[in-house]
Structure 1
Amino acid sequence: MHPRCSSAGFGSAEAVAEAILYEGYLLYPYRRSSGKNRVRWQFGVLVPPAWGEAHGLVDSGVAGSAESPWQQTECLMEAPETAVVRVRLRFLQLQRKTVEERTADGAHRPVDRIDAEGRTELSFDEAVPREFDLEASVADLRRGHRLDVQVPGGEDVEQLVDDRGEPVGRVVRRRWPLSASVSVSAASCPAPFRLLRLTLRVENTDRTTPAGSRRDDALRCCLLAAHTLLAVDQGRFLSLLDPPEWAAHAARDCRNVHTFPVLGGEPGSSDVLLSSPVILYDHPQIAPESPGDLHDATEIDEILSLRTLTLSDAEKHEVRATDPRAAAILDRVETMPPEVLERLHGAIRSLEPVRRQGEATGPTPWWEPGADAALGPEAETVLVAGALLSRGSRVRLRPRRQGTDAHDMFLAGRTGRVEQVLLDVDGTRFLAVTVDDDPGAELHQWYGRLRHFRPEEVEPLVGEVETR
Structure 2
Amino acid sequence: MTVPMEIARKVADAVLYEGYLLYPYRASAAKNRVRWQFGVLVPPGFTATSEPSASLTECLLEGAGEAVAHLRLRFLHVNTRSVERAEGDGWQPVHELRSGEATYLTFDEATEREVEATIPVLDLLDAEQTVEVLIPGDHSTRQIVAPSGEVEGRVISEHLPVHAALRVGAEPVAGPYGLIKLRVRVENIDPWDPLDAPREQALRRSLISAHLLIGVNGGAFVSLLDPPEWARPSVETCRNENTWPVLVGEPGHRDVVLSSPIILYDHPDIAPESPGDLFDATEMDEMLHLRTLTLTDEERREARATDPRASELIDMVGDLPSEMVERLHGVIRYLGAPAQEVRTPWWDPGADPTVSPDTDSVIVSGVEVAKGSRVRLAPGKRRADAHDMFLAGRTAQVEAVLLDLDGALHLAVTLEEDPGADLHRSHGRFLYFAPDEVEPLGTEEVLT
TM-score using structure 2 length: 0.74
Residue 55 of structure 1 pairs with residue 48 of structure 2: yes
The alignment partner of 2:311 has SS state of: helix
| Structure 2 counterparts to residues 4-403 of structure 1, below 5 A | 10-51=5-46, 54-55=47-48, 57=50, 67-105=51-89, 107-142=90-125, 143-353=127-337, 359=342
Q: For 1:267 and 1:114, how far apart are their aligned partners in 2? A: 50
Q: For 1:14 and 1:354, how far apart are their aligned partners in 2? A: 30
Q: For 1:347 and 1:360, how far apart are their aligned partners in 2? A: 30
Q: CA deviation at 1:291?
A: 1.2
Q: Is the 8 A contact 1:76 1:238 kept in 2?
A: yes
Q: CA deviation at 1:78?
A: 1.2
Q: CA deviation at 1:348?
A: 1.2
Q: For 1:209 and 1:219, how far apart are their aligned partners in 2? A: 13
The alignment partner of 1:305 has SS state of: helix
Q: For 2:283 and 2:20, how far apart are their aligned partners in 1? A: 12
Q: Note the alpha carbon deviations across 1:309-332, whole angstroms, 9 max, x for none.
A: 000111111101111111111000
Q: CA deviation at 1:79?
A: 3.2
Q: Is the 8 A contact 1:209 1:221 kept in 2?
A: no
The alignment partner of 1:139 has SS state of: helix
Amino acid at match of 2:164: A
Q: For 2:72 and 2:242, how far apart are their aligned partners in 1? A: 17
Q: CA deviation at 1:228?
A: 0.2
Structure 1 residues 345 and 56: alpha-carbon distance in aligned structure 2, compared to 1, 3 A threshold: closer
Q: Note the alpha carbon deviations across 1:16-39, whole angstroms, 9 max, x for none.
A: 000111110000000011000000
Q: CA deviation at 1:8?
A: 9.9
The alignment partner of 1:11 has SS state of: helix
Q: For 2:112 and 2:94, how far apart are their aligned partners in 1? A: 27
Amino acid at match of 1:306: L
Q: Note the alpha carbon deviations across 1:101-132, whole angstroms, 9 max, x for none.
A: 11212x22211111112100110010000000
Q: Is the 8 A contact 1:81 1:137 kept in 2?
A: no
The alignment partner of 1:217 has SS state of: helix
Q: For 1:50 and 1:157, how far apart are their aligned partners in 2? A: 30
Of residues 189-198 and 271-280 in structure 1, the stretch that sits farther from structure 2 once superposed is 189-198
Q: For 1:270 and 1:7, how far apart are their aligned partners in 2? A: 13
Q: CA deviation at 1:335?
A: 0.3
Q: What is the aligned-residue RMSD (CA, Å)?
A: 1.9
Amino acid at match of 2:63: A
The alignment partner of 1:270 has SS state of: coil
Amino acid at match of 2:99: A
Structure 1 residues 355 and 322: alpha-carbon distance in aligned structure 2, compared to 1, 3 A threshold: closer
User: In percent, how many aligned pairs have the same letter?
Assistant: 49
Q: Is the 8 A contact 2:86 2:151 kept in 1?
A: yes
Q: Is the 8 A contact 1:12 1:265 kept in 2?
A: yes
Which entry has the higher C-alpha Rg, 1 or 2? 2
Amino acid at match of 1:150: L
Q: Is there any run of 5+ residues in structure 2 with no aligned partner, and where?
A: 348-448
The alignment partner of 1:352 has SS state of: coil
The alignment partner of 2:15 has SS state of: helix
Amino acid at match of 1:33: S
Task: Give the number of equivalent residue pairs.
Answer: 344
Q: Note the alpha carbon deviations across 1:441-462, whole angstroms, 9 max, x for none.
A: xxxxxxxxxxxxxxxxxxxxxx
The alignment partner of 2:175 has SS state of: coil
